Structure 1
Amino acid sequence: MAASASASAAIIFNVLLRSLRTQRIANSAYKAVAKQAQDRCRISRAVGDDDTVMLLLLDWDETLTCHDTLSLIAPPEGSQPHGAAFSTYSSAYSADLAAYKSQHAEPCTLDEQLKWLDGLDEVELKSQERIEQGGLFRGALESDLLQRATRVQLRRGVDKLAQWAQSDGHESEVHIISVGWSARFIEGSLKHHLSWVPNSIHANEVELNSQGIGTGRLTKSASVTSSSGGIRTSTHKAAEAASIDLQARKERALKGLTVYAGDSGTDLNALLSADLGIVMGEAKGLKEILNRIEQPDWLIEMNAWLEERRSGRRRARDHTLVRVDDWLEAVQVLQELHQ
């Protein structure tokens, strides 16, 4: 088991390192993030009874929301000021993704899976270039974007998450890490529905001029750094998580567990790098990945996890990913860690 865990940690660290080297981060910042990535990609240690949550890191689409919100960020069909409608770009993206899958064998190991996910960056960049050249967001209004943000449907229990985040008795920080197109959109939606926003939102952005009008550019097309735009892949999200973790521990001297909540393959790297992962909803894609790389035991249902924890009979795992149906259950997990 120990050898397997060490190999798993090494695989994740090496993939993170490859990504960080391509991000052109300043040398000192690179060293700090790389060191933190190494620290966080170790075997997930047994979560003890006295451990509390320091950081709760959250995916956005289909983790906090019921559905993918990309189509709400884009101007409605036929209303775009320039070029083709969103559906045209969506179809082209689907075709590129299908081509990528046909050209690359299904991964059978964790290392292969992480490399496969990294390779999707070429699909993402091609899509962003197509959107920028077509002018989907050129002339789009910030006010319209924020109005559409009010139509997002949040998952059951997200209001309880907001209450937990603001409650006394813990000093946990909450941060969102998303490959989505607009941090501004995410913030607007949360303010509208919950009158709450997390400590920070790390996502891409629709570039606006000083009048709040879209220039046509997306920061998702930019070179990735630990502080701006270009969050496109599983590794990018994990590197962002490592940077947040580093700042919390080194600059603010916070102590405790890092918990990451996500629902898809794009979250795999960050889920496995956290002390505890929360897998939201059915997560069919993640389950399929874990089965294919022969690691189904990393995923455990919430009730089984609670029983293990409370009985003291905890099963040794390289990583622990607790599956929940909604945020009512996820908050139970967080509260259990603070008992």
Structure 2
Amino acid sequence: MASAPLPIHLILDWDGTLTAKDTLHFLGQISNEHAVRDVSPPSSSWDDIVKAYVDDLNAHTQAYRPSASERNTIAEEKAWLASLEGVDLRSVKRVEDAGLFAGVTANNVSQGASKAVGSGQLKLRKGWENLLFRNEGNEGNLLSHISILSVNWSATFIREALLHAAYDTKNMDIFANEFEGLNRLNGSSGRLSKSGERGIRTSEDKLERMPIPRKYGGDELVIYVGDSCTDLEALLAADVGICIRDEPMGSGQRELAEALERIGVPVHRLKLLAEMPPPDDSRVDLWWTPSLEELSMSLDSLSQA
């Protein structure tokens, strides 16, 4: 007699995975429209911050050893990803020192999310409804949890974007960074995370916030879906790691694909999950799909196993 399929905890990255493209620039628009500028203008603009980040990242990449072409193990790639924390933290400090989000309120963020979704500029990836609504009214569905795990700067923005897209997020856990003090009368302090709280900046930070996969003793089958190198460690640790790949691949998708090839991690075209081999922690295999619809169909296949 076949054993009953395990309940699934589906964990999704946000930018480029659940959304068609990165959404950080929408936060820049919210800053431009709603931040408090006091007497003098901010010391840096949004464009200044973006340029400084790119320049810092390029310099760090050129100086880091071993270089990308010389990194051939999972351990070497993890060390590289961990080294990016300094680049990200310096960017965060630039944003905070410039006061780009000082005075921004939760209502401002909600309005910005509504505007982005309503205008069609923020697009959720095709098939998102089938995936997120698939267990509505179905008590026997195997999908026990859906969570979002993101390095995005605002969990409120993610939640509000989904709400304005007509998805009720009350039963969804959203793990991301947040502007400190959004709900205060005078708005945010401008900090990008609460004082004394470690943000979600790196691949390792994402891994630390994942539930324990079944293959390591957890109670649920953990399926992680992501599209870029900040997802690498979560993808490797999950019972089933699935990479989103457009055709052709975007830059972040291509960077992840190249890293996985270099470190010797096979990535297969997604099959129906019911047809896939059981998770085996002695071997790491990942899967790829261009479609959330295909992912949803794959999850459905488990109920037929």
TM tier relative to shorter chain: 0.7 to 0.9
Tell me how far apart the structure 2 counterparts of residues 127 and 139 of structure 1 sit (CA, whole Å): 19
Q: Which amino acid aligns with 2:23?
A: T
Kept in 1, the 8 Å contact 2:239–2:279? The answer is no
Deviations for 1:154-186, whole angstroms, at most 9, x for unmatched residues? 000111112114341225111111111011111
RMSD: 2.7
Question: 2:250 maps to what in 1?
Answer: none
Letter aligned with residue 56 of structure 1: L
Report whether the alignment pairs 1:217 with 2:191: yes
1:149-298 to structure 2, matched below 5 A, reads 149-150=113-114, 151=116, 152-168=122-138, 169-171=140-142, 172-197=144-169, 198-207=171-180, 208=182, 210-211=184-185, 213-219=187-193, 222-224=196-198, 230-242=199-211, 255-282=219-246, 283-295=253-265, 297=266
Alpha carbons 2:30, 2:108 under 8 Å: kept: no
Separation in 2, partners of 1:309, 1:337:
5
Q: Deviations over 1:52-89 (max 9, x none)?
A: 34211111111000111111122358545431321111
* Aligned-partner Cα distance in 2 for 1:238–1:159: 26
Distance 2:31 2:195 in 1: 23
Give the match for residue 322 of structure 1: 287
Deviation (angstroms), 1:49 = 7.9
Amino acid at match of 2:27: I
Match of 2:119 in 1: none
Residues 123/134 of structure 1: CA separation in 2 closer, same or farther (3 Å cut)? same
Larger helix proportion, structure 1 or 2?
1
Note the residue ranges of structure 1 that are not aligned, 5 or more in a row: 1-47, 225-229
Please give the residue correspondences for 1:44-55 in structure 2 after superposition, counting only pairs within 5 Å: 50-55=4-9
1:137–1:314 distance in 2 versus 1, CA, 3 Å: closer
* Unaligned segments of structure 2, at least 5 residues: 117-121, 247-252
Aligned with 1:124: secondary structure?
Answer: helix
Which TM-score applies when normalising by structure 1? 0.74
Q: Note if contact 1:157-1:326 (Cα within 8 Å) is conserved in structure 2.
A: yes
- Percent of pairs with identical residues: 34
Per the normalisation by structure 2, the TM-score is: 0.81
Q: Distance in 2 between matches of 1:177 and 1:221?
A: 20
Q: Give the SS at the match of 1:322.
A: strand
